[in-house]
Amino acid sequence: MTKVRRFSDEVHVRSGELAEGGRAPVQFIWRGRLYVVREVLSRWRERSAWWEHAAIAAVHGDATEPDASRDHRPRPVLEIGDLEREVFRVEAGSGRTGGWGVYDLARPVAPGTAVVSEVAGSSSSEASEDWRLLRVSD
């Protein structure tokens, strides 16, 4: 029986070239452990959970947000890239004996743009800290 766990953890991702063109995760670090991607199973774009963003919490008076009037800082702003994300479902594992699992990795993308993996200026050694781990199936 497959168990799926949901997360919203930041991950450090290194991308590489896909055979059919574009870019995809080849490695990621999650909770201090390096995972190597064996295969990209799928990729898609989806709407982000914009209602969980700090800017929305501030508008609704969430007590965990700093009071902009007290510390004279502007309220957080909901950016265009917060609205949509590109998701990669990958099979990956850590170490030789680390069991393989399926991981959903996501990165924000501005609506109406090419997929994030094809943005100009990315190199195979470039790593990004904008990625989040959404789900793990093992």
Please say which residue of 61, 81, 101 terminates a domain.
81
What's the number of CA atoms in the CB half-sphere (13 Å) around residue 126? 12
pLDDT tens sequence across 6-26: 998 999 999 999 887 789 999
Q: Which domain holds residue 23?
A: 4-48+83-137
DSSP one-letter string for 95-111: TTTSPPEEEEEEEEE-T
69 and 127 together in one domain? no
Give residue 109's pLDDT.
82
Report how far apart, in Å, the C-alpha atoms of 24 and of each of 8, 29, 131 are: 19, 15, 12
Give residue 111's pLDDT.
64
125 and 95 together in one domain? yes
- Percent residues over pLDDT 70 in the chain: 62
pLDDT tens sequence across 80-103: 556 788 999 999 999 776 689 999
Number of domains comprising the chain? 2
pLDDT tens sequence across 21-60: 789 999 999 999 999 999 999 999 988 666 666 666 677 7
